[in-house]
């Protein structure tokens, strides 16, 4: 049994198709969605999404956002969503090194640095 899954960013549709299982990074851990899941609205964190399709498991890095399960469908609204195939390990390692080298001068800068670190780490985990 499968259900419709759509992953959207502000710029594009990152994924659209039938899945039999979705594991998403919630703001406080991971959340699994199976067919027949109760209607739900939740916040996403930065991390790896695993979408089980008939062709295998689609791995994506997600940069926060929201998810909605309704009417048997799953909709993910993410700030950014990149498939494993679209990621370059050298580019992600460079972004991580740059974020680690930053020296925040105030709490707002520290928060933005932490966001960049989290996003780089999520992309690295998607490549693993």
Domain extent listing, the chain: 3-84, 88-127
- Between CA 80 and CA 39 the distance in angstroms is 24
As averages over each run of 10 residues, the pLDDT of the chain (128 residues) reads 96 97 95 95 96 97 96 96 94 92 92 93 93
Strands 81-83 and 13-19: unpaired
Integer CA distances (angstroms), 13 to 6, 22, 94, in order: 7, 17, 26
- Judged by DSSP in three states, 115 sits in helix
Give Cα 51 to chain centroid, integer Å. 11
pLDDT recorded at residue 128: 87
Q: Which fold has domain 3-84?
A: ATP Synthase; domain 1 (2.60.15)
């Amino acid at each position: 049994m499968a259900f419709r899954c759509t992953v959207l960013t502000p710029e594009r549709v990152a994924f659209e198709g039938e899945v039999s299982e979705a594991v998403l990074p919630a703001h406080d851990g991971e959340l699994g969605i199976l067919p027949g899941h109760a209607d739900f609205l939740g916040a996403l964190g930065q991390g790896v999404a695993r979408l089980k399709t008939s062709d295998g498991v689609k791995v994506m890095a997600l940069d926060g956002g929201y998810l909605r399960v309704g009417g048997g469908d799953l909709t993910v609204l993410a700030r950014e969503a990149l498939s494993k195939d679209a990621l370059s390990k050298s580019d992600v390692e460079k972004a991580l090194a740059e974020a680690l080298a930053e020296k925040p001068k105030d709490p707002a800068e520290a928060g933005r640095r932490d966001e960049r670190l989290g996003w780089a780490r999520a992309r690295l985990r998607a490549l693993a």
